[in-house]
Amino acid sequence: MQLNVEIKRYNPEADDAPHWESYEVPADPLDSALSLLLHVKWHIDGTLSLRKSCAHGICGSDAMQINGENKLACSVLVQDLVDSDGETVRFAPLPSAPVIKDLVIDQSRFFEKYRSVKPWLINDEPAPERERLQSPEEHEMIEDATKCIMCGACTHACPSTWADPDYLGPAAMLKAYRYTFDSRDRGTDERLDVVDSEDGLWKCYTIFNCNQACPKEIDITRWLSALKRKAVTS
Amino acid sequence: MAVETAERPEAHEVTQEVQTDTSRFQRYRVRTGMFAWMAHRLSGLALVGYLVVHIWGLRALTSPEAFNALIAKYHAPIYKVGEFLLLVAVAYHAMNGLRIVLIDFLGWSPNQKKLFWTLGAVTAVIIAVGGYPSIYALVDHYFLS
């Protein structure tokens, strides 16, 4: 099938503002959306910039807005975006993120927020001889949250993030949940100080854009709600 | 540490020109969750506006005659439309508020779409039953009498 691919282009050295450009791209319904972009880059216009690495939904490099929703370009098939020949697929960088060039965004603020929730094991108790054990039941609590690949699709899909760039966002607070509810962790108070704040949990209005955007289908809102309950009960 | 060579000098922090669209309004596909939230915000703002008008109406409580005169004005058709819209806003805001409580307090997040449609149906019934008198009064005013 022949598709019309529209990409929001921006070159800081030549353009004052981002603009849309169209390309005719041959595609198979079972191709990934990423392959449409790579066809443009490799056969039509080599100046197109985008991030991709593994192309198999593990590294989380190619999160972008595709047909109005945040998705991982490598993890969505052409047949799930269009029904027939000649239809349009639109690619834009993640909404509200600073754009460096074309589809490449500046992720520094995203990772600052990530680091602010102390995403590591906090436990001063003496380490056991071999390892800190966790039962399967205890792991099940955080299993879903451990699947996060830090692609940023959720945080940049959140209207609270659009309105308040300092809002921690779903990705960072999901990490806070993942460690707070880890049976081996003792850092609940430290982490709640960060998330139970003006720019934290209480700006989550259960809009569910994060759940919809997550390529790993993590029920982010559910875990943020659990963190909210933890914050008010402890 | 990386070895420094002529071809590959040590990396320096580059100040990049960054294009930022910081608008709080972004073009994004509206699914049930975002629709429910936007409608909740709008109905909430409408109810705050209504509350101001409602309290303002109480200024006439100083004398029985003045109050009766004010209440008589509320029988005009435009107020029947307002009455109906008030019911729509209250019914939706209350039911979606219940949905948010169930999600946040009981962790019903996995069922949020089912919750939206179920409580949406309940809202429609409340509006149909509760809004019947206002709509009937309007129809009666313009078509029957």
Q: Which residues of A touch B111 (CB under 8 A)?
A: none
The pLDDT score that the predictor gives to residue B6 is 57
Nearest by CB to B109, from A12, A97, A225: name it.
Answer: A225
Do A77 and A143 belong to one domain?
A: no
Number of Cβ within 10 Å of residue A10's Cβ equals 22
Task: Answer whether residue B1 is part of any domain.
Answer: no
Per-residue pLDDT for A29 more than 80?
yes
Do A122 and A203 belong to one domain?
A: yes
Query: What range does the domain containing B108 cover?
Result: 11-144
Average pLDDT over residues A23-39: 97
The pLDDT score that the predictor gives to residue B41 is 96
- Return the residue in B102, B104, B111 with the most chain A beta carbons within 10 A, the one to mutate for interface testing: B104
Domain boundary among A75, A105, A135: A105
Query: What range does the domain containing A9 cover?
Result: 2-105
Domain boundary among A105, A128, A152: A105
How far is residue B142 from each of residues A74, B73, B75, B139, measured CA to CA in Å? Answer: 60, 17, 14, 5
Which candidate, A126, A135, A112, A150, places its Cα nearest to that of A183? A135
Alpha-carbon gap, residue A209 to B31, rounded angstroms:
8
What proportion of chain A, given as a percentage, has pLDDT over 90? 97
Position with higher pLDDT, A176 vs B7: A176
Contact B18 A221 (CB under 8 A): no
Place B2 in a pLDDT band, splitting at 50, 70 and 90.
Answer: low
Place A195 in a pLDDT band, splitting at 50, 70 and 90.
Answer: very high
- Return the residue in A105, A162, A204, A217 with the most chain B beta carbons within 10 A, the one to mutate for interface testing: A162
Task: Answer whether residue B2 is part of any domain.
Answer: no
Task: Answer whether residue B4 is part of any domain.
Answer: no
**CATH code of the domain covering residue B54:** 1.20.1300.10
Per-residue pLDDT for B15 more than 90?
no
Per-residue pLDDT for B5 more than 60?
no
- If phi > 0 it is left, if psi is from -120 to 50 it is alpha, else beta; for residue A19 that is beta
Q: Is the minimum CB–CB distance between B110 and chain A shorter than 8 Å?
A: yes
Would you tell me which residues 133-192 of chain A have a C-beta closer than 8 angstroms to some C-beta of chain B? Answer: 157, 159, 162-163, 165
Contact A165 B22 (CB under 8 A): yes
The pLDDT score that the predictor gives to residue B12 is 59
Per-residue pLDDT for A67 more than 80?
yes
Domain boundary among A74, A105, A136: A105
Place B92 in a pLDDT band, splitting at 50, 70 and 90.
Answer: very high
Contact A208 B31 (CB under 8 A): yes
**CATH code of the domain covering residue A223:** 1.10.1060.10
Please state the domain count of chain A: 2
Nearest by CB to B110, from A162, A163, A222: name it.
Answer: A222
Average pLDDT over residues B65-75: 85
Alpha-carbon gap, residue B17 to A98, rounded angstroms:
10
Per-residue pLDDT for B49 more than 60?
yes
Please state the domain count of chain B: 1
Do A154 and A56 belong to one domain?
A: no
Q: Is the minimum CB–CB distance between B104 and chain A shorter than 8 Å?
A: yes
